[in-house]
Protein backbone atom coordinates (compact mmCIF):
# COMPACT_ATOMS: atom_id res chain seq x y z
CA UNK A 1 0.00 0.00 0.00
CA UNK A 2 3.06 2.21 0.03
CA UNK A 3 3.37 2.23 -3.79
CA UNK A 4 2.98 5.90 -4.64
CA UNK A 5 2.48 5.12 -8.33
CA UNK A 6 -0.77 3.32 -7.60
CA UNK A 7 -3.95 5.30 -8.02
CA UNK A 8 -6.30 5.85 -5.11
CA UNK A 9 -8.74 3.46 -6.77
CA UNK A 10 -6.10 0.74 -6.88
CA UNK A 11 -5.22 1.33 -3.24
CA UNK A 12 -8.87 1.21 -2.22
CA UNK A 13 -9.38 -2.06 -4.13
CA UNK A 14 -6.30 -3.51 -2.46
CA UNK A 15 -7.55 -2.41 0.97
CA UNK A 16 -10.97 -3.98 0.38
CA UNK A 17 -9.35 -7.26 -0.67
CA UNK A 18 -7.15 -7.28 2.43
CA UNK A 19 -10.09 -6.51 4.72
CA UNK A 20 -12.12 -9.31 3.14
CA UNK A 21 -9.23 -11.70 3.67
CA UNK A 22 -8.93 -10.70 7.35
CA UNK A 23 -12.66 -11.17 7.93
CA UNK A 24 -12.52 -14.60 6.27
CA UNK A 25 -9.46 -15.58 8.28
CA UNK A 26 -10.99 -14.51 11.58
CA UNK A 27 -14.30 -16.16 10.62
CA UNK A 28 -16.26 -13.16 11.85
CA UNK A 29 -19.97 -14.12 11.98
CA UNK A 30 -21.54 -11.49 9.73
CA UNK A 31 -24.42 -11.45 7.29
CA UNK A 32 -23.54 -10.45 3.70
CA UNK A 33 -24.99 -6.98 4.28
CA UNK A 34 -23.12 -6.51 7.57
CA UNK A 35 -19.93 -7.68 5.89
CA UNK A 36 -20.29 -5.16 3.06
CA UNK A 37 -21.08 -2.36 5.49
CA UNK A 38 -18.10 -3.18 7.74
CA UNK A 39 -15.68 -3.32 4.81
CA UNK A 40 -17.07 -0.05 3.43
CA UNK A 41 -16.79 1.77 6.76
CA UNK A 42 -13.24 0.60 7.42
CA UNK A 43 -12.03 1.36 3.89
CA UNK A 44 -13.69 4.81 4.04
CA UNK A 45 -11.90 5.45 7.32
CA UNK A 46 -8.51 4.25 6.12
CA UNK A 47 -8.52 5.45 2.51
CA UNK A 48 -11.14 8.19 2.49
CA UNK A 49 -12.77 10.75 4.73
CA UNK A 50 -14.71 8.53 7.09
CA UNK A 51 -18.49 9.15 7.20
CA UNK A 52 -18.15 11.91 4.59
CA UNK A 53 -16.79 9.60 1.90
CA UNK A 54 -20.14 8.26 0.68
CA UNK A 55 -21.57 11.80 0.65
CA UNK A 56 -18.69 13.04 -1.47
CA UNK A 57 -19.26 10.16 -3.89
CA UNK A 58 -23.03 10.77 -4.09
CA UNK A 59 -23.72 12.82 -7.26
CA UNK A 60 -27.02 14.11 -5.84
CA UNK A 61 -25.22 15.85 -2.95
CA UNK A 62 -24.01 19.34 -3.82
CA UNK A 63 -22.89 20.52 -0.38
CA UNK A 64 -21.87 18.87 2.89
CA UNK A 65 -22.14 20.79 6.17
CA UNK A 66 -20.75 19.35 9.40
CA UNK A 67 -21.99 21.50 12.28
CA UNK A 68 -20.38 19.24 14.86
CA UNK A 69 -19.21 15.63 15.02
CA UNK A 70 -22.73 14.21 15.44
CA UNK A 71 -24.60 16.56 13.10
CA UNK A 72 -24.01 16.31 9.34
CA UNK A 73 -26.29 18.11 6.88
CA UNK A 74 -26.32 17.85 3.09
CA UNK A 75 -27.90 19.79 0.27
CA UNK A 76 -29.72 17.80 -2.40
CA UNK A 77 -31.65 19.46 -5.23
CA UNK A 78 -31.67 22.75 -3.32
CA UNK A 79 -32.98 21.29 -0.05
CA UNK A 80 -31.06 20.85 3.21
CA UNK A 81 -31.45 17.63 5.17
CA UNK A 82 -29.91 16.15 8.31
CA UNK A 83 -28.24 12.79 7.64
CA UNK A 84 -27.94 9.79 9.96
CA UNK A 85 -24.17 9.76 9.51
CA UNK A 86 -21.96 10.83 12.41
CA UNK A 87 -18.36 10.99 13.49
CA UNK A 88 -17.51 9.14 16.68
CA UNK A 89 -16.12 12.23 18.44
CA UNK A 90 -14.67 15.71 18.01
CA UNK A 91 -11.24 14.11 17.74
CA UNK A 92 -12.45 11.84 14.92
CA UNK A 93 -13.79 14.86 13.00
CA UNK A 94 -10.61 16.81 13.70
CA UNK A 95 -8.45 14.02 12.23
CA UNK A 96 -10.54 13.94 9.04
CA UNK A 97 -10.29 17.74 8.72
CA UNK A 98 -6.51 17.52 9.11
CA UNK A 99 -6.40 14.81 6.44
CA UNK A 100 -8.41 16.97 4.04
CA UNK A 101 -6.39 20.17 4.46
CA UNK A 102 -3.03 18.39 4.44
CA UNK A 103 -3.75 17.15 0.91
CA UNK A 104 -3.73 20.75 -0.32
CA UNK A 105 -0.60 21.70 1.58
CA UNK A 106 -2.38 23.53 4.38
CA UNK A 107 -2.44 23.04 8.13
CA UNK A 108 -5.02 23.63 10.82
CA UNK A 109 -4.25 23.93 14.52
CA UNK A 110 -4.82 26.26 17.47
CA UNK A 111 -2.45 28.85 16.02
CA UNK A 112 -4.18 28.69 12.62
CA UNK A 113 -7.72 27.50 13.39
CA UNK A 114 -9.35 28.47 10.08
CA UNK A 115 -8.77 27.12 6.57
CA UNK A 116 -10.53 28.04 3.33
CA UNK A 117 -9.13 26.12 0.39
CA UNK A 118 -9.76 24.36 -2.90
CA UNK A 119 -9.38 20.59 -3.11
CA UNK A 120 -7.70 18.85 -6.05
CA UNK A 121 -11.08 18.08 -7.63
CA UNK A 122 -12.09 21.75 -7.44
CA UNK A 123 -14.39 21.45 -4.41
CA UNK A 124 -14.36 24.30 -1.90
CA UNK A 125 -13.64 23.41 1.71
CA UNK A 126 -13.94 25.59 4.79
CA UNK A 127 -12.83 24.19 8.14
CA UNK A 128 -12.81 25.88 11.52
CA UNK A 129 -11.83 24.46 14.90
CA UNK A 130 -11.80 25.63 18.53
CA UNK A 131 -11.27 28.15 19.97
CA UNK A 132 -13.06 29.84 17.04
CA UNK A 133 -15.67 27.06 16.69
CA UNK A 134 -17.35 27.00 20.10
CA UNK A 135 -19.18 23.68 19.72
CA UNK A 136 -16.25 21.75 18.29
CA UNK A 137 -14.74 21.43 14.79
CA UNK A 138 -16.94 22.44 11.87
CA UNK A 139 -16.55 21.67 8.17
CA UNK A 140 -18.27 22.80 4.97
CA UNK A 141 -17.57 21.29 1.55
CA UNK A 142 -19.12 22.70 -1.62
CA UNK A 143 -18.69 19.99 -4.22
CA UNK A 144 -17.34 20.80 -7.65
CA UNK A 145 -19.33 19.74 -10.69
CA UNK A 146 -17.01 18.33 -13.35
CA UNK A 147 -19.68 18.87 -16.00
CA UNK A 148 -20.37 22.63 -16.19
CA UNK A 149 -24.01 23.61 -16.32
CA UNK A 150 -25.22 25.20 -19.52
CA UNK A 151 -27.83 27.82 -20.23
CA UNK A 152 -30.02 24.98 -21.49
CA UNK A 153 -29.86 23.38 -18.03
CA UNK A 154 -30.97 26.62 -16.36
CA UNK A 155 -33.88 26.99 -18.79
CA UNK A 156 -34.99 23.38 -18.27
CA UNK A 157 -34.86 23.80 -14.49
CA UNK A 158 -36.86 27.02 -14.62
CA UNK A 159 -34.03 29.21 -13.35
CA UNK A 160 -34.48 31.49 -16.34
CA UNK A 161 -36.65 31.72 -19.44
CA UNK A 162 -35.62 31.35 -23.06
CA UNK A 163 -36.30 35.05 -23.63
CA UNK A 164 -34.13 36.04 -20.69
CA UNK A 165 -31.32 33.79 -21.91
CA UNK A 166 -31.51 35.42 -25.35
CA UNK A 167 -31.22 38.88 -23.81
CA UNK A 168 -28.32 37.93 -21.51
CA UNK A 169 -26.46 36.32 -24.40
CA UNK A 170 -26.85 39.51 -26.42
CA UNK A 171 -25.68 41.63 -23.47
CA UNK A 172 -22.48 39.61 -23.07
CA UNK A 173 -21.77 39.61 -26.81
CA UNK A 174 -22.37 43.39 -26.86
CA UNK A 175 -19.69 43.73 -24.16
CA UNK A 176 -21.93 45.13 -21.44
CA UNK A 177 -20.42 45.07 -17.97
CA UNK A 178 -22.53 42.66 -15.93
CA UNK A 179 -22.76 42.11 -12.17
CA UNK A 180 -24.43 38.95 -10.87
CA UNK A 181 -25.97 39.67 -7.47
CA UNK A 182 -27.21 37.14 -4.93
CA UNK A 183 -26.99 35.78 -1.42
CA UNK A 184 -24.96 32.84 -0.15
CA UNK A 185 -25.71 29.60 -1.97
CA UNK A 186 -27.96 31.18 -4.59
CA UNK A 187 -25.86 30.03 -7.54
CA UNK A 188 -23.97 33.23 -8.41
CA UNK A 189 -20.89 31.37 -9.62
CA UNK A 190 -23.00 28.95 -11.65
CA UNK A 191 -24.77 31.83 -13.37
CA UNK A 192 -21.48 33.66 -13.91
CA UNK A 193 -20.11 30.54 -15.57
CA UNK A 194 -23.15 30.34 -17.85
CA UNK A 195 -22.84 34.02 -18.79
CA UNK A 196 -19.17 33.51 -19.61
CA UNK A 197 -20.17 30.82 -22.11
CA UNK A 198 -21.60 33.62 -24.31
CA UNK A 199 -18.15 35.26 -24.68
CA UNK A 200 -16.77 34.82 -28.22
CA UNK A 201 -14.02 32.25 -28.66
CA UNK A 202 -11.65 34.90 -30.01
CA UNK A 203 -11.60 37.02 -26.83
CA UNK A 204 -8.70 36.81 -24.38
CA UNK A 205 -10.17 36.24 -20.91
CA UNK A 206 -8.49 36.65 -17.52
CA UNK A 207 -10.36 35.12 -14.57
CA UNK A 208 -9.57 36.08 -10.98
CA UNK A 209 -10.88 34.07 -8.03
CA UNK A 210 -10.25 33.33 -4.36
CA UNK A 211 -10.44 29.65 -5.22
CA UNK A 212 -10.83 28.54 -8.83
CA UNK A 213 -14.43 27.49 -9.53
CA UNK A 214 -15.21 28.87 -12.99
CA UNK A 215 -15.14 26.38 -15.85
CA UNK A 216 -14.74 28.46 -18.98
CA UNK A 217 -14.81 26.45 -22.18
CA UNK A 218 -12.97 28.99 -24.34
CA UNK A 219 -9.34 28.29 -25.23
CA UNK A 220 -7.85 31.77 -24.72
CA UNK A 221 -8.22 31.89 -20.91
CA UNK A 222 -5.74 32.76 -18.15
CA UNK A 223 -6.88 31.69 -14.66
CA UNK A 224 -5.52 33.50 -11.60
CA UNK A 225 -6.06 32.52 -7.97
CA UNK A 226 -5.34 34.55 -4.85
CA UNK A 227 -3.03 33.25 -2.15
CA UNK A 228 -3.54 33.55 1.63
CA UNK A 229 -0.67 34.56 3.90
CA UNK A 230 1.56 31.83 5.28
CA UNK A 231 1.84 30.96 8.95
CA UNK A 232 4.16 33.95 9.47
CA UNK A 233 1.57 36.24 7.90
CA UNK A 234 3.62 36.82 4.75
CA UNK A 235 3.26 36.05 1.06
CA UNK A 236 -0.38 37.04 0.64
CA UNK A 237 -1.55 37.82 -2.90
CA UNK A 238 -4.99 39.44 -2.82
CA UNK A 239 -7.75 39.67 -5.40
CA UNK A 240 -6.92 43.36 -5.66
CA UNK A 241 -3.30 42.55 -6.50
CA UNK A 242 -4.48 40.21 -9.24
CA UNK A 243 -7.00 42.69 -10.67
CA UNK A 244 -4.27 45.31 -10.95
CA UNK A 245 -1.89 42.81 -12.52
CA UNK A 246 -4.52 41.60 -15.00
CA UNK A 247 -4.64 45.07 -16.57
CA UNK A 248 -1.09 44.46 -17.80
CA UNK A 249 -2.02 41.12 -19.37
CA UNK A 250 -3.86 42.58 -22.37
CA UNK A 251 -7.27 41.11 -21.47
CA UNK A 252 -10.33 41.53 -23.67
CA UNK A 253 -12.47 40.51 -20.71
CA UNK A 254 -11.83 40.40 -16.97
CA UNK A 255 -13.95 38.07 -14.85
CA UNK A 256 -13.70 38.44 -11.07
CA UNK A 257 -15.32 35.55 -9.21
CA UNK A 258 -16.63 37.82 -6.45
CA UNK A 259 -15.78 41.32 -5.29
CA UNK A 260 -15.56 41.54 -1.51
CA UNK A 261 -13.24 44.46 -0.82
CA UNK A 262 -11.14 47.24 -2.26
CA UNK A 263 -10.64 45.37 -5.54
CA UNK A 264 -14.11 46.64 -6.50
CA UNK A 265 -12.62 50.09 -7.16
CA UNK A 266 -9.94 48.65 -9.45
CA UNK A 267 -12.55 46.56 -11.26
CA UNK A 268 -14.86 49.54 -11.78
CA UNK A 269 -11.95 51.62 -13.06
CA UNK A 270 -11.06 48.83 -15.48
CA UNK A 271 -14.66 48.70 -16.71
CA UNK A 272 -14.55 52.47 -17.23
CA UNK A 273 -11.23 52.47 -19.10
CA UNK A 274 -11.67 50.17 -22.05
CA UNK A 275 -12.21 46.74 -20.51
CA UNK A 276 -15.85 46.45 -21.56
CA UNK A 277 -17.60 43.14 -21.23
CA UNK A 278 -16.25 42.38 -17.78
CA UNK A 279 -18.21 40.17 -15.39
CA UNK A 280 -18.29 39.70 -11.63
CA UNK A 281 -20.53 38.79 -8.70
CA UNK A 282 -21.42 40.60 -5.49
CA UNK A 283 -23.18 39.47 -2.34
CA UNK A 284 -26.49 41.38 -2.22
CA UNK A 285 -30.21 40.63 -2.05
CA UNK A 286 -31.52 42.98 -4.75
CA UNK A 287 -30.18 45.12 -7.59
CA UNK A 288 -30.50 48.24 -5.43
CA UNK A 289 -28.63 46.47 -2.62
CA UNK A 290 -25.94 45.48 -5.14
CA UNK A 291 -25.34 49.15 -5.97
CA UNK A 292 -25.12 50.02 -2.27
CA UNK A 293 -22.80 47.07 -1.69
CA UNK A 294 -20.45 48.20 -4.46
CA UNK A 295 -20.37 51.69 -2.96
CA UNK A 296 -19.38 50.24 0.42
CA UNK A 297 -16.71 48.02 -1.13
CA UNK A 298 -15.17 50.96 -2.98
CA UNK A 299 -14.76 52.74 0.37
CA UNK A 300 -12.74 49.72 1.54
CA UNK A 301 -10.10 50.60 -1.07
CA UNK A 302 -8.90 53.33 1.28
CA UNK A 303 -9.45 56.17 -1.19
CA UNK A 304 -11.09 59.24 0.31
CA UNK A 305 -13.70 59.64 -2.41
CA UNK A 306 -16.98 61.54 -1.96
CA UNK A 307 -20.11 59.39 -2.17
CA UNK A 308 -21.33 61.07 -5.35
CA UNK A 309 -18.04 60.34 -7.11
CA UNK A 310 -18.32 56.70 -6.09
CA UNK A 311 -21.89 56.50 -7.39
CA UNK A 312 -20.88 58.08 -10.67
CA UNK A 313 -18.10 55.52 -10.97
CA UNK A 314 -20.54 52.66 -10.32
CA UNK A 315 -23.28 53.97 -12.60
CA UNK A 316 -20.92 54.57 -15.52
CA UNK A 317 -19.11 51.23 -15.15
CA UNK A 318 -21.95 48.77 -14.55
CA UNK A 319 -24.48 48.26 -17.33
CA UNK A 320 -26.54 45.34 -16.05
CA UNK A 321 -27.34 43.62 -12.74
CA UNK A 322 -28.65 40.05 -12.80
CA UNK A 323 -30.22 39.07 -9.48
CA UNK A 324 -30.38 35.39 -8.55
CA UNK A 325 -32.38 34.24 -5.52
CA UNK A 326 -32.86 30.98 -3.64
CA UNK A 327 -36.60 30.79 -3.07
CA UNK A 328 -38.38 29.12 -0.14
CA UNK A 329 -38.96 25.96 -2.19
CA UNK A 330 -35.20 25.53 -2.60
CA UNK A 331 -35.15 26.51 -6.27
CA UNK A 332 -32.70 29.07 -7.57
CA UNK A 333 -34.23 31.63 -9.92
CA UNK A 334 -33.11 34.73 -11.74
CA UNK A 335 -35.55 37.25 -10.26
CA UNK A 336 -34.33 40.52 -11.83
CA UNK A 337 -32.53 41.59 -14.97
CA UNK A 338 -31.95 45.26 -14.28
CA UNK A 339 -30.38 47.98 -16.40
CA UNK A 340 -28.21 50.60 -14.70
CA UNK A 341 -29.24 53.75 -16.56
CA UNK A 342 -27.05 56.40 -14.92
CA UNK A 343 -27.55 59.12 -12.34
CA UNK A 344 -30.49 61.38 -11.54
CA UNK A 345 -29.35 63.87 -8.95
CA UNK A 346 -27.49 61.84 -6.34
CA UNK A 347 -29.32 58.58 -7.06
CA UNK A 348 -28.29 55.74 -9.37
CA UNK A 349 -31.27 55.00 -11.61
CA UNK A 350 -32.25 51.40 -12.29
CA UNK A 351 -34.81 49.93 -14.67
CA UNK A 352 -36.01 46.32 -14.61
CA UNK A 353 -36.17 44.50 -17.94
CA UNK A 354 -37.30 41.24 -16.28
CA UNK A 355 -38.95 40.81 -12.88
CA UNK A 356 -40.04 37.63 -11.08
CA UNK A 357 -43.82 37.17 -10.89
CA UNK A 358 -44.67 35.96 -7.39
CA UNK A 359 -48.42 36.35 -7.99
CA UNK A 360 -48.66 32.94 -9.72
CA UNK A 361 -48.56 31.31 -6.28
CA UNK A 362 -47.46 27.78 -5.36
CA UNK A 363 -48.33 24.30 -6.61
CA UNK A 364 -49.45 21.39 -4.40
CA UNK A 365 -45.83 20.57 -3.52
CA UNK A 366 -45.12 24.14 -2.39
CA UNK A 367 -43.07 25.05 -5.46
CA UNK A 368 -43.30 28.50 -6.99
CA UNK A 369 -45.25 28.56 -10.24
CA UNK A 370 -44.08 32.01 -11.27
CA UNK A 371 -41.13 33.03 -13.40
CA UNK A 372 -39.31 36.21 -14.32
CA UNK A 373 -41.39 38.03 -16.92
CA UNK A 374 -40.52 40.99 -19.16
CA UNK A 375 -41.65 44.37 -17.89
CA UNK A 376 -42.26 45.60 -21.44
CA UNK A 377 -39.83 48.50 -21.01
CA UNK A 378 -37.22 49.06 -23.69
CA UNK A 379 -33.66 49.05 -22.29
CA UNK A 380 -31.43 51.87 -23.46
CA UNK A 381 -28.64 49.46 -24.38
CA UNK A 382 -30.67 48.18 -27.34
CA UNK A 383 -29.14 51.03 -29.35
CA UNK A 384 -25.75 49.46 -28.69
CA UNK A 385 -27.06 46.15 -29.98
CA UNK A 386 -28.13 47.86 -33.19
CA UNK A 387 -24.71 49.43 -33.70
CA UNK A 388 -23.09 46.00 -33.35
CA UNK A 389 -25.64 44.20 -35.51
CA UNK A 390 -26.90 42.05 -32.62
CA UNK A 391 -30.48 40.97 -33.16
CA UNK A 392 -32.95 40.54 -30.30
CA UNK A 393 -36.51 39.42 -30.90
CA UNK A 394 -39.12 42.03 -29.91
CA UNK A 395 -40.98 39.18 -28.17
CA UNK A 396 -38.14 39.09 -25.64
CA UNK A 397 -39.56 42.20 -24.00
CA UNK A 398 -43.17 41.12 -23.81
CA UNK A 399 -46.27 42.56 -25.38
CA UNK A 400 -44.95 46.04 -26.10
CA UNK A 401 -43.36 46.39 -29.54
CA UNK A 402 -39.63 47.10 -29.46
CA UNK A 403 -37.80 48.87 -32.26
CA UNK A 404 -34.07 48.27 -32.13
CA UNK A 405 -32.19 51.26 -33.46
CA UNK A 406 -31.09 54.79 -32.75
CA UNK A 407 -33.51 57.17 -31.15
Residue boundaries of the structural domains of the chain = 8-136, 151-397
Sequence-distant (6+) residues with CB within 8 A of 238 are 226, 261, 263
Residue 377's alpha-carbon distances to 63, 324, 399, 403, 406, in angstroms, are 39, 20, 10, 11, 16
Largest CA distance in the chain: 87
- CA contacts within 13 A on the Cβ side of 374: 22
Q: Rounded distance, CA 12 to CA 47, Å?
A: 6
pLDDT at 34: 65
In the three-class reduction of DSSP (H, G, I as helix; E, B as strand; rest coil), residue 63 is classed as: strand
Estimate to the nearest angstrom the gap between the alpha carbon of 47 and the chain centroid.
29
This prediction's pTM: 0.82
pLDDT at 33: 67
Estimate to the nearest angstrom the gap between the alpha carbon of 375 and the chain centroid.
28
Q: Roughly how many angstroms between the first and final C-alpha of the chain, as a whole number?
A: 73
Q: Which of 183, 208, 230 is nearest to 335 (CA)?
A: 183
With residue 280 as reference, give the H or E element that holds it: strand 279-283
**Mean pLDDT in order along the chain per 10 residues (407 residues):** 51 65 66 66 71 89 95 90 94 93 87 87 91 95 86 93 95 98 93 96 95 90 90 87 95 95 94 92 97 96 91 96 93 96 95 92 85 91 92 75 36
Question: Taking a C-beta distance cutoff of 8 angstroms, is the pair 382, 406 a contact?
Answer: no
Degrees to nearest 5, angle at CA 179 with 175 and 183 = 160
With residue 386 as reference, give the H or E element that holds it: helix 382-388
Question: Taking a C-beta distance cutoff of 8 angstroms, is the pair 269, 177 a contact?
Answer: no
Q: Rounded distance, CA 369 to CA 366, Å?
A: 9
Chain segment 367-381, per-residue pLDDT in tens = 888 889 999 898 999
Question: Taking a C-beta distance cutoff of 8 angstroms, is the pair 279, 195 a contact?
Answer: yes
pLDDT at 156: 92
pLDDT at 369: 86
Q: How many CB atoms lie within 10 A of CB 7?
A: 9
Question: Taking a C-beta distance cutoff of 8 angstroms, is the pair 281, 257 a contact?
Answer: yes
CATH architecture of 8-136: 2-Layer Sandwich (3.30)
Q: What is the DSSP string of 306-364?
A: -HHHHHHHHHHH--EEEEEEE-TTS-EEEEEEEEEEEEETTEEEEEEEEEE-GGG-B-T
pLDDT at 103: 84
**Which residues are bridge partners to 348 per DSSP?**
343
Residue range 151-397, CATH number = 3.40.50.300
Amino acid sequence: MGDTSSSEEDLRSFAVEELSAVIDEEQVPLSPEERRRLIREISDEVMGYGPLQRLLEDPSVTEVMVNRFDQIYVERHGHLALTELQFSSDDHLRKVIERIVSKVGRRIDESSPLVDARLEDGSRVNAIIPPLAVNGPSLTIRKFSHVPLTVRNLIEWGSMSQEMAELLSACVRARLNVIVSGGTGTGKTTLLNVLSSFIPESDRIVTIEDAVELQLQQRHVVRLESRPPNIEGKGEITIRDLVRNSLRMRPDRIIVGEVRGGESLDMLQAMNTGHDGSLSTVHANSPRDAIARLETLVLMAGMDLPLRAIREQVSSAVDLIVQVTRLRDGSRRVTHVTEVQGMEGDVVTLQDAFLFDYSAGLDAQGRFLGKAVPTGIRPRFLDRFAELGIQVSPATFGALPVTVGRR
